[in-house]
Amino acid sequence: MLRRSVAVSAAVLLCLVGAGAAEAGSTSLYAPSALVLSVGKGDASGPVTVLRATTLSCAPVPGGTHPAPEAACAELEGGFAGGGFDGLLASPDPDRACPQHFDPVTVTLDGVWEGTRTSWQHTFSNACVMGTTLNGGEAFAF
């Protein structure tokens, strides 16, 4: 159900982005990057309840409903490697301790990145671990 909701949201976003570009009548030198990001409660192997979601367009210009599109786009550009966004997980804060309880949080990213369809998700054991692993990043801070 989550994937269907995210996929529908991404399709609507891409249609809106495409309509806006067609109206402007301009051509872009950059491949489009338009995403739907979500944070949900639950493990990706079971039902996930979406707690919050946002849209983010990074090319040709940062925008969308994300509260900090420029910073989020810069973070995603830095975290994108090898066809995925696992680079977002590369620098956890070693000085922050989290409780060892299991209350899973799953983040997802679906849409088009640099002209290529993409889908990425990661499940954290709890919200504190998510915050520590993402190290205060902007991409999922909405």
Per-residue confidence (pLDDT) for residue 122, from 0 to 100 = 95
CATH class of 2-134: alpha beta
13 or 80, which is more confident: 80
Collect contacts of 12-19 with beta carbons under 8 A, ≥24 apart.
Answer: 13/55, 13/57, 13/64, 13/111, 14/111, 14/112, 17/57
Asked which of 17-31, 42-56, 65-79, 119-133 is least confident by mean pLDDT, the reply is 17-31
Beta-strand pair 33-41/105-113: antiparallel
CA–CA dist 73, 18 (Å, integer): 19
Report domain extents, the chain: 2-134
Per-residue confidence (pLDDT) for residue 23, from 0 to 100 = 46
Per-residue confidence (pLDDT) for residue 76, from 0 to 100 = 93
Q: CA separation (Å) from 30 to 27, 50, 60, 140?
A: 9, 31, 6, 24
Residues 48-92: tens digit of each pLDDT: 999 999 999 998 899 999 999 999 999 998 888 667 898 888 777
Mean pLDDT in the chain?
83
CA–CA dist 111, 7 (Å, integer): 8
Per-residue confidence (pLDDT) for residue 84, from 0 to 100 = 82
- Cβ atoms of residues 51 and 95 within 8 Å: no
Segment 101-107 shows an average pLDDT of: 96
% the chain with pLDDT above 70 = 77
% the chain with pLDDT above 90 = 54
Confidence of residue 138 (pLDDT cuts 50, 70, 90): very high
Per-residue confidence (pLDDT) for residue 10, from 0 to 100 = 47
Segment 17-34 shows an average pLDDT of: 60
Tokens of residue 129, six digits: 């671990």
